Amino acid sequence: MSDARKVEDFLREDVSADWRDVSSSVVEGEKAEATVFTREGGVVAGVEEACSVFSCLGAEPNPRVEDGERVEPSDVIMEPSGDAVALLRGERLALNLLGSMSGIATATRECVDEVEATGAETTVAATRKTTPGYRDFEKRSVRLGGGDTHRHDLTDAVMLKENHLELVGLETAFRRAKERASFTSKIEVEAEDLRTAERAAELGADIVLLDNMTPDEVAEAVDRLESHDVTVEASGGITRENVADYARAGADVVSMGSLVHSSDWLDLSMRVE
């Protein structure tokens, strides 16, 4: 389903099938211009989606910034105009999309900045800890903030996690994955200890995920895996406050669920004239 179709579905959550929106109907026949602005700085995301909201309702969205741009307090994001009913009907959904997506993009950019300040070439990535039905928007927000989306769904790569290994063991899980996956698919193995990390690399894993390890443990793992052609990913408990430590430890990738599930919404408002 396209993002535009999803936006239409979101509108249906706010307005019943027969569009009996009494609140907005009290301004029927009026034309208006509005200003959507931010009360705080950050990286804006969701402009495209907010434009879809107003366009779907028959208003002109008139964006003033592009997705991925940095904004400062009081900056104007868009100036929708047209039928007053359309503006008021789309207001909350547009602000919700802009606020949530901008919050994720801003959190991502902050972590990317922390990593870049160390001089490391570590990639900041999201995880699949996303909201069902809203994943496309959250992943896009991460990308707009300068991060990597990681796997979008279960088919993007093979990931052998703790429960896979518990059920059939590392060797069997890896062999079956190798037999069944396309040559285009990478195989990633989650390791909770250094022994598993080394064994996964020996078997030929493309990526070894170091789960819930300290920066010191990650540094040791990076050293032990240096002779293998493997990407080292660190995940679990990584935050803006410690992401630089993991970058300095030598991780090729740091994946952070907090980019999505713990980011604060950007504070935005809309005023009608």
**Catalytic residue flag (residue 171):** no
- Catalytic residue (one of 64, 128, 161, 178): 161
- Catalytic residue (one of 75, 114, 190, 233): 190
- Catalytic residue (one of 75, 188, 211, 233): 211
- Catalytic residue (one of 92, 175, 223, 226): 92
C-alpha 218/C-alpha 224 separation (Å) is 10
**Catalytic residue flag (residue 190):** yes
Burial 95-118 (b: 16+ CB within 10 A, else e): bbbbbbbbbbbbbbbbbbebbeee
β-strand pairing of 81-83 with 76-78: unpaired
**Residue 158 in tokens:** 């093979």
- Write the DSSP assignment of 101-165 as a string of letters: HHHHHHHHHHHHHHHHHHT--PEEE--S---TTTHHHHHHHHHHTT-B---SSTTSSEEE-HHHH
**Catalytic residue flag (residue 161):** yes
**Catalytic residue flag (residue 6):** no
- Catalytic residue (one of 6, 64, 129, 143): 129
**Catalytic residue flag (residue 271):** no
Are the C-beta atoms of residues 243 and 256 closer than 8 Å to each other?
A: yes
CA atoms within 13 A on the CB side of 52: 17
Sign of CA dihedral 64, 45, 262, 142: negative
C-alpha 228/C-alpha 133 separation (Å) is 38
Residues with active-site annotation = 92, 129, 161, 190, 211
